[in-house]
Structure 1
């Protein structure tokens, strides 16, 4: 067993100790917050500009644009975005807007093409963003085409993900943003060798921070998910690592219960936990025993009480799975349907109601408990990003 595996087993055994004692890792103290953090348009504006417009966030898995000429589109908090796999295999991101009269250049969510052509006046652009053709240019007038290519957004591919800063004026350095601990963790997961087998986005009347908080919370499982997640995951038990901008925590699955009374000795307990990673500023990456789930949360471009959640199921490709294609597809289709059912029947109704509650004029101060450690870190880092950029 190498040092990485040994350290993981130690974290799991700490979680097993908590389970035996009825304890969990804790933050230094409780901390307060206010409802306006989730409802105020000015707070939302600062977050869009000072968080998403300044630091990298994950926008896709690399396998979503697997070949040159493949593209996807998405709506970031500040820009409509077009992400394109280039002929040399690299990935570039652009503002999805024709430089002539501002029409949306590409309306499909994904596809494959040799060039981009605007439906309004048929101006066209190469995949590298350069302006290729001005229709009827003999009547249009003199234009320096080098100045009217697509506006490029800072984009980088690392650890099997595509990252972007949502501002053309920014720079991107994903390794520096992750820091040595989280960069090494993601590097060790071979995420670029996996496949995003399912992905879907949901626009919900919920602030993005309420969404993100819910998927860092091990305190609600027994009460919000009694007939789903609570059958498999223990409530309010975790071992936590603070990496500054990011964190990781282990939550024991109920299959570990056979070791509550017995000493596991040298037996690996890795199959009996879920490891959750908060990858700032807005992602939850769950490492399950045989796959990963990526959840991302982005604020609406204008409304503080709306956000977009995207969920991705990232799995070993069929040729590495040891399964025939039919069985492989059936397994992940079933897994996906279970995830969707919990999301729509249990998570979203609760979170929509939370947003309604936050709109109360006399909501009063609220509080995070010491046991809500990952939520503390998320709130701390969100506030730091907004304040340090002011």
Structure 2
């Protein structure tokens, strides 16, 4: 993974180059012919969702919450509250930290850091996923640098102790002089891990016992029907981003499309027009795509939902999957680092591998477009939000009725903090 952005490199509005042209996309949901129950249910739900979005287009409306929501600015500033959020949220819930296709077969891994915890996710020779602390049990050296890769064994660069992909200690260099080492007591420290619907969830608490099926609830069959596990990992980039809540606020509404994304997102999406659904802490924003203007009058059987709806599935606390009904998908994982900084992994998935030069060029253009829009428009703006927080201390933000995603996100955080304080 390559870190490619920092606030210092961001430019003023009048200095930014014109964004690349919006990538062409093709719908996948309308072409899917899978007969499994999850796929059939997902296509049916997609058709119903398209009808809801068409209704919003016809009436020039959007999904609305019952009332506005106010959030104290101090909740973004308070370093003690940030620590409590990390304990109540990121150290307590199963975190979506990888897509299954980032570990496409036996002997693959993904390494990353979450709140100072070095994590190594692996797929062993039997295809089973494991998660463990990315630190040698000899002297604590980092075993694998952040990123994705392939390995038969994990060997420590410091003293060459080696582990298999399940984390079991297999080799101790010069054990004759070092002294015998009990393998079962020096294997890598395991973290709870589970794989559902093409997404890998990890807990930072080694003693946690999460029920992933209950955590995902009724959303799980819809995700399974989207067949993310069958996708191909094309590329990953990292961007620095501000406070995790400041960052994620920008992912959870379509109200800003016309003003912030005038020459990018707004060219393909209507602004302030969406359907909204929640499943426990998770949610989906279904934005209205421009072709709805031409397709609204057609009979339902002649419409492809993927040409009408831009569906963004959002898993708490920080995974956004955009382009879920298309052949090219952009995944964003927002991971807190400090009270004022987070990092965003931007992962590009393809329904079919990019084999030809033309296919690779199209995939590159797609990834570049998302990267530049997020860096130069979304994050340039949210860094500005963060710079103004101290001056606004003691006041509050207001989330409109047309921003139900923001309300649901913050309401969930408040609930988890309340539960943790009992």
Q: Same fold (TM over 0.5)?
A: yes
Aligned to 1:242: 278
| Alpha-carbon offset, residue 3 of structure 1 | 6.1
Deviations 1:92-112 (A, max 9, x none): 111011122222122252332
Alpha-carbon spacing, 1:203–1:18, altered in 2? closer, same or farther (3 Å): same
Alpha-carbon distance in 2 for matches of 1:290, 1:72:
24
2:263 is the alignment partner of 1:232: no
Output the TM-score relative to the length of structure 2: 0.84
Residue 339 of structure 1 deviates from its aligned partner by 1.1
Structure 1 Cα separation of the partners of residues 196 and 44 of structure 2: 26
Tell me how far apart the structure 2 counterparts of residues 368 and 108 of structure 1 sit (CA, whole Å). 36
Q: CA deviation at 1:8?
A: 2.8
Ranges in structure 1 where 5+ consecutive residues have no aligned partner: none
Mapped partners of 2:146, 2:284: distance in 1: 36
2:88 maps to 1:88 = no
Determine the structure 1 residue equivalent to 2:249: 213
Whether 1:197 and 2:228 are equivalent positions in the alignment is no
Summarize deviations over 1:126-166 as a string: whole Å, max 9, x none: 22212223334344456543222110111122211221112
8 A contact 1:78–1:167 mirrored in 2: no
CA distance in 1, matches of 2:88, 2:203: 11
Contact 1:39–1:207 (Cα < 8 Å) also in 2: no
1:297 aligns to what? Answer: 334
What is the aligned-residue RMSD (CA, Å)? 2.2
Q: Which residue of the partner structure matches residue 272 of structure 1?
A: 308
Kindly provide the CA deviation profile for residues 267-296 of structure 1, in whole angstroms up to 9, marking residues without a partner as x.
324112201212112111222433322111
Residue 187 (structure 1) aligned with residue 224 (structure 2): yes
Name the TM-score, length of structure 1 as normaliser: 0.91
CA gap of 1:81–1:6, structure 2 versus 1, over 3 A, is closer
Other-structure match for 1:367? 398
SS at match of 1:12: helix
Compared CA separation, residues 288 and 210, structure 1 to 2 (3 A):
farther
d(CA) in 2 for partners of 1:355 and 1:325? 43
- Give, in whole Å, the separation in 1 of the partners of 2:298 and 2:111: 51
Q: Distance in 2 between matches of 1:324 and 1:311?
A: 21
Identify unmatched segments of 5+ residues in structure 2.
1-29, 31-39
Q: Cα–Cα, structure 1 residues 218 and 195, in superposed 2: closer, same or farther, change >3 Å?
A: same
In the TM superposition, 1:23-62 aligns within 5 A as: 23-62=61-100
- Cα distance in 2 for residues equivalent to 1:266 and 1:127: 48
1:383 maps onto 2:421 in alignment: no
Q: SS of 2:201's equivalent?
A: strand
Which of 49, 56, 66 pairs up with 1:18?
56
